[in-house]
Amino acid sequence: MISVAVIGGGAAGMMAALEAASRGAAVSVYERQNRVGRKLAVTGNGRCNLTNLHASPQSYHGLDPGFAAPALNRFSPMETLAHFRGLGLLTVFEPDGRVYPLSDTAGSVVDVLRFAMEASGVCLKDSCEVTALERAGSGWRVKCTEGSFEADRVIAACGGMAGERFGGTNKGYELLEALGHHRTPLRCSLVQLRCGNPSCRSLKGIRADAAVRVFFGDALLAYSAGEIQFTDYGLSGPAVFEISREALSRPGIVVSLDLLRSVTEEELSEMLLRRAERTPQLTMSDIFLGTVQNRIGRILVSSAGLKGSESVESLTEKAARRLARLAKHFEFPVIGDMGAANAQVTVGGIRTDEFDPETMESRLWPGLYACGELLDVDGDCGGYNLQWAWSSGRLAGLSAAGV
Ligand SMILES: Cc1cc2nc3c(=O)[nH]c(=O)nc-3n(C[C@H](O)[C@H](O)[C@H](O)COP(=O)(O)OP(=O)(O)OC[C@H]3O[C@@H](n4cnc5c(N)ncnc54)[C@H](O)[C@@H]3O)c2cc1C
């Protein structure tokens, strides 16, 4: 019987372990935290957006974006859902293709995986950190905090650096780098943006609907629309997470918010002039009344260089155009992100050209496999990253079991 050591009891590791065990391998999972699936249990704001029905290889990034295709084609979102259904997990999907457990609880996903592993005889070694991997004959010696164990094959499923509070770590990269593997530069994605706009502090806590555009000079790099949140350091919210990968891709990026996407700049400028005409008793600080949140309106007025205490009667056409321009293009220069502690995903990882995409086996070390976020593959926001964990984990488990 082939023995397989899986390093990391996250989404990819659990899927790999189940697959290898279902194919007759003797499987052990080494997890440095006190229980498996800690990160999985907090995904999707505790609901676990476990896949996206629209997931395809085009939704993934890295030095070789095509690397993800074989694993995804062999274990697609529909096959993943059928697999989870087989484990007893019912799911629902939303119009944008995001899939959640019917229970609306991420813990259910962890539970069905954990119980299935127990039922398949997978040995779970919690609170056990793997510190080194060494060749032992044609197999491996797995050195960990609990001692030393041998296995015919090893699957590295250590995840990335993102989500530090839930197990994100650099340890997986270090383990594989010690064996001669290389990694690409790492950065955060699906993360809050720190911005150099002095208005952030005054807008702190406000949620709004906006179109979010990412500009490098005149070039539009990315677009999203939906809920944003102003914070004391910058911008957060689902629509900001969606564009964060591109917003952090190089220095000098500006995020531009359209806070009134249902009207054009010209219409808005007209509306403001009409308001000034019809309700001359208002002050400038009320000029946006009924359009954007009051606090945002006041900040737009001061950003346009107008006095909030002045009467709207003094509004000129030029000033109205300036206000409308600002509301439709409220700019936030990006100066950084909120770090791995807050990020959901790592951009970069172990170089994929050192692994075979058809098997997930190392090209340097036969019998060593890798899967999940540890590799230089990251997906868009919306269930794509867990789908990569499931697809790559399954392929690694299947290959390691020797089938
Ligand atoms: C807050 C948050 C919300 C998210 N929400 C979603 C979502 O809704 N949908 C989605 O698609 N993606 C989401 N993601 C991203 C997704 O969770 C990850 O991409 C996915 O979990 C990666 O799976 P993995 O198995 O590769 O890594 P992980 O899930 O991080 O698992 C790796 C495991 O390996 C363990 N480990 C590491 N090194 C060692 C070692 N040396 N020895 C032993 N154990 C080790 C770690 O403790 C960890 O448990 C979210 C991420 C975060 C942080």
Region 162-173: mean pLDDT is 95
CA of 165 to the centre of ligand 1 (A): 11
Region 119-148: mean pLDDT is 95
Instruction: Report which ligand 1 atom has the smallest distance to the Cα of 49.
Output: 8
Region 37-47: mean pLDDT is 97
Residue 146: what pLDDT?
83
Residue 104: what pLDDT?
96
Region 11-30: mean pLDDT is 98
Residue 30: what pLDDT?
98
243 Cβ inside 6 Å of ligand 1 = no
The span from the CA of 132 to the CA of 134, in Å, is: 7
Per-residue pLDDT band at 172 (split at 50, 70, 90): very high
Residue 197: what pLDDT?
85
* Angstrom distances, CA of residue 276 to CA of 32, 285, 311: 64, 12, 9
> Quick one: which of 161, 87, 157 has its CA closest to 118?
87
For residue 216, pLDDT beyond 60: yes
Tens-digit pLDDT profile for residues 294-327: 999 999 999 999 999 999 999 999 999 999 999 9
380 Cβ inside 6 Å of ligand 1 = no
Residue 142: what pLDDT?
97
385 Cβ inside 6 Å of ligand 1 = yes
Residue 97, Cβ density class (10 Å: 0-12 exposed, 13-18 middle, ≥19 buried): middle
pTM: 0.94
Per-residue pLDDT band at 86 (split at 50, 70, 90): very high
Instruction: Report which ligand 1 atom has the smallest distance to the Cα of 378.
Output: 19
- C-alpha atoms less than 13 angstroms from C-alpha of 360 in its C-beta half-sphere: 38
Q: What is the C-alpha radius of gyration for the chain, rounded to an integer number of angstroms?
A: 25
Instruction: Report which ligand 1 atom has the smallest distance to the Cα of 387.
Output: 11
Name the token pair of 54. Answer: 């629209």
Tens-digit pLDDT profile for residues 193-206: 999 988 888 999 99
Dihedral pair phi/psi, residue 180, rounded to 5°: 100, 5
CA of 28 to the centre of ligand 1 (A): 18
Residues in the chain, total: 403
Which of 99-103, 124-128, 144-148 is the least confident region?
144-148
Q: What is the mean pLDDT of the chain?
A: 96
CA of 10 to the centre of ligand 1 (A): 5
Region 199-214: mean pLDDT is 94
Per-residue pLDDT band at 166 (split at 50, 70, 90): very high
Which residues touch 289 (CB under 8 Å, ≥6 apart)?
Answer: 275, 282, 297
Region 103-127: mean pLDDT is 97
Region 384-403: mean pLDDT is 95
- Using CA atoms of 91, 92, 94, 99 in order, give the dihedral in degrees to the nearest 10: 0
Per-residue pLDDT band at 403 (split at 50, 70, 90): low
230, 200 contact by CB (below 8 A): yes
Instruction: Report which ligand 1 atom has the smallest distance to the Cα of 128.
Output: 43
394, 16 contact by CB (below 8 A): yes
191 Cβ inside 6 Å of ligand 1 = no
Residue 201: what pLDDT?
87
